[in-house]
Structure 1
Amino acid sequence: MLDAAGLWALFLHCLMLSLLAIGGAMATAPELQRYVVVDQGWLSSADFTSSVALAQASPGPNLMFIPVVGYAAGGLPGAMAALLGMLLPSTALTLAVTRWGARHRESRGVKAFIAGMVPVTLGLLIVSGALLVQPLRDQPVALLLMGGSLLLSWRTRVSPVWLIAIGALAGILGWV
């Protein structure tokens, strides 16, 4: 359980991450992992990955991994500190920028900014995926399932629910 200083530090770190969350909260996973696992030692790498996987398996936005990681590090106060830290600045900034962007959506600068953010977002998501695969690198069945899921998601219109169900079945059967 985190003390008051740890909760404050988690809140402030999530506050900073919120402003860097280009492409969504999942893009902050590598930095959050570095902070809570490597720098602070609040969680192990496996605990971090399990927290993210649990949040991703549940219905709801990708942001849900933030309070789950906070909970794993500091219980309910940790979940609240992480979630509030992640939501406050991004919500205020999103509201202001959206209003401004709507008024200036046809300007050359806004169009260039949007086009430039596509590769940045893609790169951050790829790094997040690579980080989450690390604990599974010695489990070939898990890697095959992830690769197959990626290929099916990319090339077909199969519902992600079926891919999650197949992964859950593989886990239940002890293959992963």
Structure 2
Amino acid sequence: MHDTPHDPTQTKRPDLPLLELFLGFAKISVTGFGMILPWARRLIVEDKKWLTADEFNETYSLAQFLPGPNVVNMSVVFGSRMRGPAGAAVALLGLIGPPALIATALSALYAIYGDVDVLRRILTGIAAAAIGLMIAVIVKMAEPLLRKLLAPAPLVLIATFLTVGVARWPLVSTLLVLAPASIALAFWWQRR
């Protein structure tokens, strides 16, 4: 027997207070310097247990498929899923409000001190740490997919990596082919 596919837009949690939703996304945004996906996953899946790892991947997949910044889309989709339109607005505000204030203050300081050599070396170190965090979250997100080795998901993951990462095919062309193929494979897998 196969798991029933989960619709990442359907679960509502009226017991989740809007303030907690706002504070959760505010925490994600102010602790995730530059690369907030790892922090979003940690808070949503591991700390708060608002979603399972599979539900997070499904929700993030939908957010990634939409135009615009992935994590911004994630906040709107997740907030809407938890508390409807009010949840979407609150999660979005929590995600972009605090960093907008911080970025405004820091950009004023950078305009004054941006040419200092020590600052450039610090920013290089921060970039390396951000890349390490992204690799860690990719491994965590891939784990639920790779547990099902004979399912279509790992095959699509590998095909995507090979076409975009190795062969350097354009992302849009790859998505236009692999997205329908992935949907068809998932549908076939559930029906077999």
Q: TM-score, normalised by structure 2?
A: 0.77
Structure 1 counterpart of 2:170, from 150, 159, 162: 159
Say yes or no: does 1:60 pair with 2:68.
Answer: yes
Report deviation, 1:76.
1.6
- Which residue is 1:102 aligned to? 111
- Which residue is 1:119 aligned to? 128
Structure 1 counterpart of 2:35, from 15, 20, 24: 24
Report deviation, 1:163.
2.4
Letter in 2 for 1:65: M
Report deviation, 1:52.
0.6
Say yes or no: does 1:43 pair with 2:51.
Answer: yes
CA distance in 1, matches of 2:36, 2:47: 20
CA distance in 1, matches of 2:109, 2:48: 38
CA distance in 2, matches of 1:124, 1:53: 19
| Cα deviation digits, residues 12-49 of structure 1 (max 9, x gap) | 11111111222233243322332xxx554443433222
CA distance in 1, matches of 2:16, 2:158: 41
Letter in 2 for 1:88: G
Letter in 1 for 2:62: L
Residue range with higher mean Cα deviation, 2-11 or 84-93 = 2-11
Larger RCO (CA under 8 A, 6+ residues apart)? 1
Gaps of 5+ in 2: 1-11
Q: TM-score, normalised by structure 1?
A: 0.83
Structure with greater helix share of residues? 1
Question: What do you get for the CA RMSD once the two structures are aligned?
Answer: 2.3
Largest Rg, 1 or 2: 2
Report deviation, 1:116.
0.5
CA distance in 2, matches of 1:102, 1:158: 38
Residue range with higher mean Cα deviation, 135-144 or 107-116 = 135-144
Say yes or no: does 1:129 pair with 2:138.
Answer: yes
| Count of matched residue positions in the alignment of Structure 1 and Structure 2 | 173
| Cα deviation digits, residues 106-133 of structure 1 (max 9, x gap) | 2022111111112211122112222322
CA distance in 2, matches of 1:5, 1:33: 12
- Identical pairs, percent: 26
